[in-house]
Amino acid sequence: MAYKDGKLVEKVRAIPIYSVINGFWVNETGNLTNSHQIYPAGLV
């Protein structure tokens, strides 16, 4: 999730770049705060 001035700008999903790296495309400029929630695979 990307926040700007404390307000949610957009929810983004991971984009596989390589087999072990994910990227996140955000269509916004300026100072943003990113929040990542990671869950163990067995709990999803």
User: Hey, where are the domains in the chain?
Assistant: 2-43
List, run by run, the mean pLDDT of 10-residue segments along the chain (44 residues). 75 81 79 76 65
> Nearest-CA neighbor of 10 among 25, 21, 22, 23?
25
pLDDT given for residue 3 in this prediction: 75
**pTM for this prediction:** 0.42
Strand partners, 18: 21
Closest CA to 9 of 38, 30, 37: 30
- Residues contacting residue 39 through CB under 8 Å, at least 6 positions apart: none
